[in-house]
Structure 1
Amino acid sequence: MITEQAPGKLYIAGEYAVLEQDCPAILVAVNQFIRVSIIKSKSGTGLIHSKQYSQSSIHWVRRGAKMVIDNRDNPFEYILAAISYTERFCLEQKVKMKVYDLYVNSDLDSSDGKKYGLGSSAAVTVATVKAILRFYNVAFSNELVYKLSAISHYSVQGNGSAGDIAASVYGGWIAYQTFDKQWLANELAHKTLSDVVNEAWPGLKIQLLTPPAGLKLMIGWSQKPASTSRLVDETNANKAALNGQYQEFLRLSRKCVLKMIAGFEHNDIQLIKKQIRVNRKLLQHFAQINQIAIEIPRLSKLINIAESFGGAAKTSGAGNGDCGIVIADRNTDTAFLEDKWRQNGIMPLDFRVHQIRVVD
């Protein structure tokens, strides 16, 4: 049996703006994993099994009189897409297909099945791609895994930046800028998958960052799950109407995140903390003009408690639930801060940054 794993992720800064080209974000991989195991089937039929995902709900919307299933929160859709594109790539390498059983095991949910918001759909996509490539003895690099995973994930989700894919593939702290989605769609329509993954993707940037000595990342969970894809849908629908304000948000977010990247490069925790606070205000304004809830009361409480202890805090990812993050330093009393969180219904998550060995 072959087993591959991929870590979950958290956004540190640059959310929403990262959906556009030339707008960087900072993410971190955490030591909670999805593991995918694969073994040749002993019969003529294959199996895909996950004990965590067996109770997944199906969401649907009404389009006129038609009921349309929304599969973007169904993890099996990402697994099937990852299998489809990875096997397509393997077939182009003249690999003979086999029948296999595939088992999925996840740390990315709480004990009662609630999502932490660690990018489970991205992690299961990455782990599946790696497992299939390993099963077929196809040599792979991090870049190949990223590109196959990004294509697979986007084919299901239809939106997003694939920053969570990059974090699950490369690990550690990363600065990330997304690729040109229209270019990719055109390439996939006219070229082989092998040709597309071997090309340079316009706009794509993935830079590994080294955190300053003494920087501490703290994570608090609101205990309220959120749906990223539906929040992104809402803001995408408003882009045209908010054109001037939206462009200003992108400009200011880019400026903020570039300063934060400089903080990593110059070992300047105070600069990083300052820009975390700037990014929080940008997201609050973005939520206001889009009339969406990013910083719900539980997350505001999480942030305000952290700030009272000297940490710089904000929501992580799409918001409306899931996690908040805190950049702290040696002067932050993390034990007292976490006690205060617990008293207010916020669960501290004792996760660590996960580094991944570079595969060229």
Structure 2
Amino acid sequence: MRNKYLSKGHDFLITVKAPGKLYIAGEYAVVEAGYPAILVALNQFVTVTVQESFDYGSIYSKQYQENSLYWKREGNNMVFDNRDNPFHYILSAIRLTENYAQSLGKQMRCYHLRIDSDLDSPDGKKYGLGSSAAVTVATIKALCQFYRLSMDKNQLFKLAAIAHLDIQGNGSLGDIAASVYGGWIAYRSFDRQWLKMARRQHSLAELIDLSWPDLQIELLTPPASLKLLIGWTGSPASTSHLVDAVGLKMSNQRQGYQHFLTESKACIKRMITGFHQGSLTLIQKEIRYNRKILRALSDLSGVQIETSLLHKLCETAEANHGASKTSGAGGGDCGIVLIDRQINAKNLLAAWQKAGIEQLDLHVHHVLD
């Protein structure tokens, strides 16, 4: 029934997509303002479709069919029939984008919003590819087209970062950057305390045009010889919970935590130099060092980052000439391997399969629009 609202060829049908991501290095440190990380955008997407409606609106997701939302307009406000829903990131993205649109004099309209994601497996398993960030970015991009709002990637990042932060409350927002810019990126997080104060002093339109303290986003070109392999352990992990747990433990270990931050920043700077120089050897060296300091952070905090299966993933890769580590917050989800593409990875992948590790056949995605 709901699909009839999304017939192809309709004058007001808009479809956009945003890619998922994986962290390559710099995890945990990147949640602190000014500390760098490297991420990559992947060719798995959240797709958002918007079609104008003249009586009521709906939000529908293939992943949450039983929880579709219906709403209507009362003036410029969205009034929902059902407030108990799984669409918090989408609603935050809608709210921020419509606030921005209204500040530019746009008239609010009704529409049907459809979300489809291939960032999780067909049977609902979460791979840890940043679906909440991708759906936030895709929703904002779709509504910007719907309301004919001109928005560059820098503005899109800032609006999506605010929308995502309003819901999650922590994290670096590097996954937002990966979904917006695509490809390989070096990312430094902005000062969230500054943003909190700036939101009281500036309009949304002013805020997304300002220079945000500590924020840096640089597109990187990998060496031609670099091949990225991704292994999934079959065990989903909660990034926000792990980040909170490490932060809580580190509040009593300031000296050790500061040492970790300093080492992580130096490591990522050297890795970025490796990208600039096209040196796979230097990049691999720093991948291994980043794994080492993350394991030290795990020991210091008592929070398990490298599970036994992630350890197996990494050690198997190292035995087959790859440089490997956990990706993201760890505790499950994925591990990554950077390897020379001329090396035959057959033995590595066979060992993964034997251990119950699934190779994700994903590739780097570059955002062109």
Band of TM-score, shorter chain: over 0.9
Tell me what 1:13 maps to.
25
C-alpha distance in 1 between matches for 2:259 and 2:198: 31
1:53 CA drift (Å): 3.1
**Paired residue type of 1:13:** A
1:45 CA drift (Å): 1.6
Tell me what 1:297 maps to.
308
Corresponding residue to 1:323 among 323, 334, 337: 334
Q: How does 1:169-248 map to 2 (within 5 A)?
A: 169-248=180-259
Work out the number of aligned pairs and report it.
340
Match status 1:279 vs 2:290? yes
Q: Deviations over 1:77-125 (max 9, x none)?
A: 1000000001101111100000111000001001210110000000000
> What's the TM-score once normalised by structure 1's chain length?
0.92
> What's the TM-score once normalised by structure 2's chain length?
0.90
C-alpha distance in 2 between matches for 1:312 and 1:189: 45
C-alpha distance in 1 between matches for 2:154 and 2:175: 14
Tell me what 1:109 maps to.
120
Corresponding residue to 1:25 among 23, 32, 37: 37
Tell me what 1:4 maps to.
16
| SS at 2:123 equivalent | coil
Report if the CA contact (8 A) 2:225-2:342 is conserved: no
| SS at 1:97 equivalent | coil
1:331 CA drift (Å): 4.2
Report if the CA contact (8 A) 2:34-2:191 is conserved: no
Report if the CA contact (8 A) 1:75-1:121 is conserved: no
Tell me what 1:69 maps to.
none
Report if the CA contact (8 A) 1:172-1:356 is conserved: yes
1:343 CA drift (Å): 1.0
C-alpha distance in 1 between matches for 2:46 and 2:362: 15
Report if the CA contact (8 A) 1:47-1:100 is conserved: yes
Report if the CA contact (8 A) 1:82-1:128 is conserved: yes
Q: Deviations over 1:157-183 (max 9, x none)?
A: 000111000000000000000001011
C-alpha distance in 2 between matches for 1:186 and 1:55: 39
> Cα 1:182–1:3, aligned 2, differ >3 Å: closer, same or farther?
same
Tell me what 2:108 maps to.
97
Tell me what 2:48 maps to.
36
C-alpha distance in 1 between matches for 2:166 and 2:356: 37
Corresponding residue to 1:258 among 236, 258, 269: 269
Report if the CA contact (8 A) 1:75-1:124 is conserved: no
1:22 CA drift (Å): 2.0
| SS at 1:124 equivalent | helix
Match status 1:308 vs 2:350? no
Which consecutive residues of structure 1, in runs of 5 or more, have no partner in the other structure? Answer: 57-73
Tell me what 2:78 maps to.
none
Report if the CA contact (8 A) 2:230-2:335 is conserved: yes
Report if the CA contact (8 A) 1:10-1:27 is conserved: yes
Bigger drift between 236-245 and 314-323 goes to 236-245
Match status 1:147 vs 2:158? yes
Report if the CA contact (8 A) 2:33-2:192 is conserved: no
Report if the CA contact (8 A) 1:146-1:165 is conserved: yes
Bigger drift between 130-139 and 326-335 goes to 326-335
Residue identity (%): 52
Q: Deviations over 1:112-162 (max 9, x none)?
A: 101100000000000000001000011111111101100000000000111
**Paired residue type of 2:212:** W
